[in-house]
Amino acid sequence: GWAGSANDSAFIYWSDDFGETWKASESVAGLNECSIAFAARASDGRVLANCRTHSGAPRAQVTFTDGVPGVVRAVPELVDPGCQGSIISTGRVHHLSHVGHPSERRRMLVRSSMDGGVSWSDGVLVHDGPAAYSQLVPLGGGRQLGLLMEAGHRTAYESISFVRVDQPKLPDGGEPSSPFVWVGLVCVVGCAFSLLVWKRSRNRVRQDALLRVQAQRALSESEMHIEGFDLDRSDKSGEKENGVW
């Protein structure tokens, strides 16, 4: 959610019993549309939130420990016009998708951090044109990431597309591990909040089916087709480039 004012605040809900009961954290003023991932191992209990800020400021991060937020830190290299992003953890590596332009919603990037979000790579430029909201998800095998994003040639809202992105190699030559749980959360005081909990299934078919269902719901008012995981609105024009409109 986004209230569009200085009164925006972010907080998280979490469950220790697979959703039977829920707890709320303390709120953090000045942040909104936060995406979260485990800061280290799930058993560690710490949650890293990467958040949208007001236009002109870089993205910010804060770590919650047992529901208590730490110090909010601006991340200068995460230039952002004020737009939602998505962070996930694949064991030893964190990944972030966001639009990397200081004033416009364009240049969709996927960046990686090998040090728990302290620093971020320059990343992979997925689409150099208009782009907006996005969602990352780890794919089976741990070698690729899936990116569902709004993108287009004239505006960021011409299509919704799914793109596969290779995970970076670790400095020691090892392979990134796959997480067993992924959690994404967006919440703002004064706005409706939404919570999506993805418990990784051993059956990859169930993962693909869930992704399709989520995309169908998001595009319920638009005609669409599913072909190689590309989900495109019917009002698109132009030629497709690298799997993105």
CA distance 237 to 87: 30
Share of the chain above pLDDT 70, in %: 64
- Please report which confidence band the pLDDT of residue 5 belongs to, taking 50, 70 and 90 as the band edges: low
CA distance 145 to 37: 15
Structure tokens belonging to residue 232: 């495109």
Q: What is the dihedral of CA 59, 118, 148, 140, to 10 degrees?
A: -170
- In the block, residue with structure tokens 């990944």: 95
Mean per-residue pLDDT for 191-200?
Answer: 30
Q: Which of 3-7, 10-14, 117-121, 229-233 has the highest mean pLDDT?
A: 117-121
Q: What confidence score (pLDDT) does residue 21 get?
A: 96
- Please report which confidence band the pLDDT of residue 54 belongs to, taking 50, 70 and 90 as the band edges: confident
Share of the chain above pLDDT 90, in %: 47
Q: What confidence score (pLDDT) does residue 227 get?
A: 33
Q: What confidence score (pLDDT) does residue 77 get?
A: 95
The highest-level CATH class for domain 9-221 is mainly beta
- With vertex at residue 10, the alpha carbon angle to CA 8 and CA 13, rounded to the nearest 5 degrees, is 145
Whole-number average pLDDT of the chain = 74
Contact assessment for residue 121 and residue 95, using Cβ atoms and an 8 Å cutoff? no
